[in-house]
Chains A and B, each alone.
Chain A
Amino acid sequence: MASTSNYVFPAEGLDYLLGIVPKGGTAPATLYLGLFTTSWATIQGYGIANTNITLNGGTYPVTELASATGYATRPSLAAATWGAATAGTTVIGANTINVRQSTYGSAITITNTSASAWTGINGMFIATSATVGQASGSGTTVLWYAPFSDGSTVTLAVNDSISITPTWQSAPYPA
């Protein structure tokens, strides 16, 4: 059965988070925002196994936007810039859940300054490494993937930009 979720916390990301709380690992001061080109339908098609998805390889791969001028490194997300936790809601299945959420304090803008258009950008992920193209298990751990909120596939012509604002929610599900 295909997943219907509009986000995925892969196993590696869950493990990473558990390693911090409750296991007392050191929380990173900086995370990184990446772009992926795999269609969200493909990711959903992995079904419940999509928690086993991995970046840039593996049985359930998610492919990152290729490195290019303007996307040579993943933009950083400073821990201190995430906004204060506020109340919000989300819909999980048939339930509307009260959540706590934090939105990054400023939009992350990525500009295509390469010589050709970037096509097929389907969403973003948050990773622990800035190295574009680096695969899961090879220095990169992805905490979550999500498509853009409007579900659009983005093409960035030369000199076009995309401005992304990520929001991170924690849902006490079932509430």
Chain B
Amino acid sequence: MAFTEVARLATTTARVAALSATNTYTLPSAPASGQWIVVALYTNQGIIPTGAITGANNLVTSVTCGSISLSVLEGSTNTSLQEPTVYAAPYASGMTTTLSVTWTNGIAATTLGVAVLIFSGASTTTGSMTFREGNGAFDGAGNTTFGATGAQGSSGVITWANSNNAIPTNYDSQQQPFIAAIVDTNVPTSTTLQLARSAGLFGVVSNSSGQLSQFGGTAGTLPISSGTSVYNPAGGTAYGVIYGTYGNFTFSYTGVSGNNLTGCVATGLGIFAQAPSYAPIMLAGTSAVTITAILNTNSPTTPNLNGFLTGSTSYTSGTASANGHVQIGMGGTGTVPARLHLIGGSNNAGYVKQTAYAVQRINGSVLTNGGGFIYTFAPATRTLTRTSTAVRTLISRVVKVREKIAVAVFVRTPYAVRQVASVRTAKAVLTRTSTALKAVATFRTSVANALRIPLVAKTRASQRVSAASQANVASVTRTRQSVRRANVSVTYTIASTKRRTFVRRAVATSVLIARSISKVLTISRAGTVTGDFKIAGGRAAFKTGQLEGTFDTANVVGSQKKTGQI
């Protein structure tokens, strides 16, 4: 839930000339359930809240809302000059529209600033404040002094919380409610507008003719004060912030020509579109319209922070002023002007950390004193978002089983089929002619007949290779474990002189093969079967693969082509 403003103090209190008194302020509305009330105090002599160390001049003894006493936010017990002290409390029964600040002041007049903000959207539970950024809230500077160097430099721009020291949004990336209390001094006296951006100061610009506004100002040219230092993007794009009538808004410009910013285009239209902004009631002649403390992001066009400013107090000389800024004490009037800002807002969702800047500029001056705190609150509703994933690898075990099946298939079916087929083709086929004997003899002795030689030789070579495929036969043996048969066929189709010798290496058996028959060899022990047969001068050998043994057989089938005479 985002931080939402409910009410702010906008009242006038008369100067109090006393050593001690209770200032009473009337709130626009009483805090209600689910709301917080935050009170920021400031004096230009420092404030010692109740319970803090004593000895300083200004002691705030109590801050109450109705009958309920507010507590100092942890860490906000500052005794230094120009630092705010922040009281806060969630709604409690007994709170009313009456806010009382009781103080003592042992010295001459000083200036007491009081800013009050009532907001909703933060948790009302105790301890809901999750973060305090005290020391170094102004990045690069100390708590109390803005030196001539550091983040402020000579530009008067204060960088607040850089990327390494950002406003944390430490509950996931939800919108983070925050409040910021800032004091700056050297209230400007001119009425010119200030132009600044988060990374530099551009100078003083006059927007009095309304070239730009957050209500639809169009592109145009903005005049700047003569002699001011202005960053020139030289055709690029630079951004500035204008404190307008209805709050801060950003604009871009593309160049500088003489005393004009050119190519200006308003961005972030809308009152609360960009940065915490608010148009405080400025009393005539008492203060200037200027850049006040704002929170801006490192992107001038992306409203990562939203919020508003309240309780901007302005120094007045001995008279009452708006927003609870009043002179207190016995003597004279305060001489150190200062302003107190109390800003509340929420960063946008989706940021684990939020970079923010406090942009402050005093017209023609360098900030010399000031300080601030930022506090983040726990959202009223906080939800962590998580996911969990479990991979059901149960399936993987099933697949592993299937792998085993696949292995079985490998053994049983596909290779067996192929290998059986291979066996079936593993034939020792002899081709000869009716005069094969003569032809082969011729072949052996000489290459007497070129026409015959390739015919016989090629045929035999092919047959031997096929028949002697041990791998094929061996595979048959393995894959046909249940059958254990290996077939080698020799078929004779001619009547001629022939000799067949089958040798099973394992059993050394010779087998006579009658013509035109297939011979089945029964294997009595493991081994390969080799054999050859000679037919009318032709001879073919074969060799089976590894046969398993007793139950294996080798069926030897020979064939001899009946052809004509060579």
Binding site for B on A (CB under 8 A): 6-9, 14, 17-18, 90, 92, 97, 99, 101, 107, 109, 123-124, 126, 144-150, 152, 154, 156-174
For residue A38, give the distance in angstroms from its CB to the closest CB of chain B.
Answer: 14
Given A157-B378, A161-B381, answer yes or no on A170-B386 (Cβ-Cβ < 8 Å). no
Closest 8 CB pairs of A and B: A173-B396, A7-B390, A144-B390, A148-B386, A161-B383, A146-B388, A167-B389, A169-B391
Interface flag for B105 (CB, 8 Å): no
CA of A136 to CA of B467 in the docked complex: distance in angstroms? 67
State whether A166 touches B388 (Cβ < 8 A). yes
26 contacts between A and B (CB under 8 A): A7-B390, A18-B394, A90-B389, A92-B391, A92-B393, A123-B388, A144-B392, A145-B390, A146-B388, A148-B386, A148-B388, A152-B386, A162-B386, A165-B385, A165-B387, A165-B388, A166-B390, A167-B388, A167-B390, A168-B392, A169-B390, A170-B394, A172-B395, A172-B399, A173-B396, A173-B399
What is the interface of chain B mostly: helix, strand, loop, or mixed?
Answer: strand
For residue A107, give the distance in angstroms from its CB to the closest CB of chain B.
Answer: 7
Interface flag for B418 (CB, 8 Å): no
State whether B382 touches A161 (Cβ < 8 A). yes
Q: Which residues B380-432 have CB closer than 8 A to chain A?
A: 381-396, 399
Given A160-B382, A161-B381, A172-B399, answer yes or no on A149-B392 (Cβ-Cβ < 8 Å). no
Note all chain A residues with C-beta closer than 8 A to B396: 171-174
State whether B391 touches A159 (Cβ < 8 A). no
Note all chain A residues with C-beta closer than 8 A to B389: 6-7, 90, 101, 146, 149, 166-169
State whether B391 touches A99 (Cβ < 8 A). yes
Note all chain A residues with C-beta closer than 8 A to B33: none
Note all chain B residues with C-beta closer than 8 A to A169: 389-392
Interface flag for B433 (CB, 8 Å): no
Residue of B nearest to A33 (CB): B388
Residue of B nearest to A161 (CB): B383
Given A159-B125, A161-B381, A161-B382, answer yes or no on A173-B387 (Cβ-Cβ < 8 Å). no
Residue of A nearest to B399 (CB): A172
Note all chain A residues with C-beta closer than 8 A to B381: 159, 161
Interface flag for B64 (CB, 8 Å): no
Interface centre among B125, B382, B390, B399 (most CB of A within 10 A): B390
State whether A161 touches B384 (Cβ < 8 A). yes
Binding site for A on B (CB under 8 A): 123, 125, 378, 381-396, 399
Note all chain B residues with C-beta closer than 8 A to A166: 387-390
For residue A4, give the distance in angstroms from its CB to the closest CB of chain B.
Answer: 13
- Of B378, B384, B393, the residue contacting A173 (CB under 8 A) is B393
Note all chain B residues with C-beta closer than 8 A to A174: 396, 399
| Inter-chain pairs besides A147-B388, A171-B393, A173-B393, 15 sampled, C-beta below 8 Å | A6-B389, A9-B390, A18-B394, A148-B388, A149-B386, A149-B387, A149-B389, A162-B385, A163-B383, A166-B390, A167-B389, A169-B390, A170-B394, A173-B399, A174-B399
Count of A-B contacts with CB under 8 A?
A: 109
Interface centre among B125, B378, B383 (most CB of A within 10 A): B383
CA of A7 to CA of B393 in the docked complex: distance in angstroms? 10
State whether B382 touches A157 (Cβ < 8 A). yes
Note all chain B residues with C-beta closer than 8 A to A123: 388
Note all chain B residues with C-beta closer than 8 A to A90: 389, 391
Note all chain A residues with C-beta closer than 8 A to B391: 7, 90, 92, 97, 99, 169-171
CA of A39 to CA of B457 in the docked complex: distance in angstroms? 80
Note all chain A residues with C-beta closer than 8 A to B386: 124, 148-150, 152, 154, 162-165
For residue B168, give the distance in angstroms from its CB to the closest CB of chain A.
Answer: 16
Residue of A nearest to B383 (CB): A161
- Of A8, A162, A173, the residue contacting B395 (CB under 8 A) is A173
Residue of A nearest to B380 (CB): A159
State whether B384 touches A14 (Cβ < 8 A). no
Residue of A nearest to B379 (CB): A160
For residue A16, give the distance in angstroms from its CB to the closest CB of chain B.
Answer: 11
State whether A148 touches B393 (Cβ < 8 A). no
CA of A18 to CA of B401 in the docked complex: distance in angstroms? 15
Note all chain B residues with C-beta closer than 8 A to A92: 391, 393
- Of B125, B387, B392, B399, the residue contacting A164 (CB under 8 A) is B387
Interface centre among B383, B385, B391, B392 (most CB of A within 10 A): B391
State whether B395 touches A171 (Cβ < 8 A). yes
State whether B395 touches A14 (Cβ < 8 A). no
